[in-house]
């Protein structure tokens, strides 16, 4: 019987295993050194905050794996013999395979800072990171977070939930400046400061200072500031977790190089999720896509290929969502930090500074390109449909109520948004009433 080995039990590896099982009777072994069972990484913060127990982060009951004949093996693969199709584990044991899926995920970035491996320094990616944070944030007087992004905000919220003051160092002059335009960055920066985060823009970590026992006692910035702390969170992005795969016959760059079918240069070996790097990315997309839903799509794609239905990775329109404390964020299409040539934008922000919408469209054709929304929940299917239909910015604004997903008794702002657009652009758009017929066209 064909044996499929999958290294990594995150969303990519587990999705691949589930869909291979749906389509075949192959033997499947899912390997991880991190945990016995698959869990939701985005839920780790809620375990620390006391909202749930770790077992609540596991989408499947322990009996699920046996029932679906997916073998689980806990262990660390330290070497792969591709010619012999053999996995060699750190405990000296081996496992033969017929086809191999590498779903090894990401690892937090470290940039060679002095003291970066001290006790009391960690990221927020693995269960071990959570345990490390739990251990070393007991009875501390301050935490310092390095790197401006979503994981950093999550860590700040975690620490503040335990009344631990937070200093947040961001090297750039605006928060998450490689992703957000300045208007949205400023909105979130204000919101963080309202939550008593000591946000320091244009401030870069120089070194982490040892207390003499191997534990952090302070950090020093490149400008010479000393900040006493008991925890340093390293959240300056992640990189593909492929250290043990480097300098072998497997082709790698930043990640494991794959084609659109997710196959590597070695026959019968595939790479998916955060560790995969596309040689020729889908037009407009990044070569490495480290997002939950792209990992899931890659898992489904490789499962189809392995079970005889050759597929290419087709992620569709870009989207993402997150939460900055109590402000929800969604993005559909492309809203880049700097406006591209030939594009025009329109930005609306509520007077209280807690909600905004940022639209981007082609200046000549008027084709809608993308939207960022903060504080107003939108329907994914509707915006995905508009992007697929190459809708105009006027059509999007005219039917904007169709996309509003906020509960019935929430205040609606479409009239105010459209009025501002008309005022700035000399248009006379009239918003239409919400139509479930139009909404269902995209949902069905």
pLDDT score, position 443:
81
Q: Phi, psi (5° rounding) for residue 292?
A: -55, -50
Domains of the chain: 3-107+239-306 (3.50.50.60), 121-236 (3.50.50.60), 320-443 (3.30.390)
Q: What is the pLDDT of residues 312-327, one digit of tens each?
A: 999 999 999 999 999 9
Position of tokens 């560790």?
275
pLDDT score, position 26:
98
pLDDT score, position 19:
98
Answer whether 270's CB lies under 8 Å from 257's CB. no
pLDDT score, position 171:
95
pLDDT score, position 411:
92
In terms of DSSP H, where are the helices of 181-311?
A: 182-194, 292-306
pLDDT score, position 148:
81
Q: Which residues of the chain have pLDDT under 50?
A: none
pLDDT score, position 209:
98
Q: Phi, psi (5° rounding) for residue 88?
A: -110, 120
176 three-class SS: coil
pLDDT score, position 334:
97
Q: What is the pLDDT of residues 12-37, one digit of tens each?
A: 999 999 999 999 999 999 999 999 99
pTM (2 decimals)? 0.95
CB within 8 A of 233, min separation 6: which ones?
122, 123, 124, 133, 143, 144, 145, 146, 152, 155
């Amino acid at each position: 019987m064909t044996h499929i080995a999958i290294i990594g039990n995150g969303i990519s590896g587990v999705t691949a295993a589930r869909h291979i099982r749906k389509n075949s009777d192959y033997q499947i072994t899912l390997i991880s050194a991190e945990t016995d069972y698959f869990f939701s990484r985005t839920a780790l913060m809620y375990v620390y905050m006391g909202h749930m127990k770790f077992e609540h982060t596991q989408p499947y009951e322990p009996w699920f794996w046996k029932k679906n004949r997916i073998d689980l093996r806990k262990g660390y693969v330290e070497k792969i013999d591709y010619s012999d199709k053999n996995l060699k584990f750190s405990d000296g044991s081996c496992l033969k395979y017929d086809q191999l899926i590498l779903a090894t995920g990401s690892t937090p970035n470290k940039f060679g800072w002095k003291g970066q491996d001290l006790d009391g320094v960690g990221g927020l990616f693995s269960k071990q990171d959570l345990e490390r944070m739990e251990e070393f944030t007991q009875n501390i007087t301050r935490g310092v977070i390095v790197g401006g992004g979503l994981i950093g905000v999550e860590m700040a919220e975690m620490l503040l939930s335990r009344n631990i003051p937070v200093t947040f160092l961001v090297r750039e002059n605006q928060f998450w400046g490689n992703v957000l335009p300045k208007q949205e960055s400023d909105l979130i920066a204000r919101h963080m400061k309202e939550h008593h985060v000591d946000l320091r823009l244009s401030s870069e970590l120089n070194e982490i200072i040892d207390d003499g026992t191997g534990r952090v006692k302070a950090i020093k910035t490149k400008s010479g500031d000393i900040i006493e702390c008991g925890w340093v969170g390293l959240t300056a992005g992640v990189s593909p977790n492929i250290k043990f795969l480097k300098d072998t016959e497997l082709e790698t760059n930043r990640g494991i190089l794959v084609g659109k079918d997710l196959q590597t240069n070695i026959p019968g070996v595939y790479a998916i999720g955060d560790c995969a790097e596309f040689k020729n990315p889908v037009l407009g997309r990044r070569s490495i896509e480290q997002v939950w839903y792209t990992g899931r799509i890659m898992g489904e794609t490789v499962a189809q290929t392995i079970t005889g239905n050759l597929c290419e990775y087709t992620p569709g329109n870009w989207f993402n969502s997150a939460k900055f404390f109590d402000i929800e964020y969604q993005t559909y299409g492309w809203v880049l930090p700097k406006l591209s040539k030939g594009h025009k934008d329109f930005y609306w922000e509520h007077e209280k500074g807690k909600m905004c919408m940022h639209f981007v469209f082609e200046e000549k054709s008027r084709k809608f390109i993308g939207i960022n929304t903060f504080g107003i929940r939108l329907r994914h299917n509707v915006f995905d449909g508009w992007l697929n239909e190459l809708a105009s910015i006027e059509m999007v604004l005219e039917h904007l109520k169709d996309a509003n997903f906020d509960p019935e008794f929430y205040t609606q702002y479409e009239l105010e948004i459209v009025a501002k657009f008309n005022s700035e652009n000399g248009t006379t758009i009239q918003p239409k009433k919400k139509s479930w017929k139009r909404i269902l066209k995209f949902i069905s």
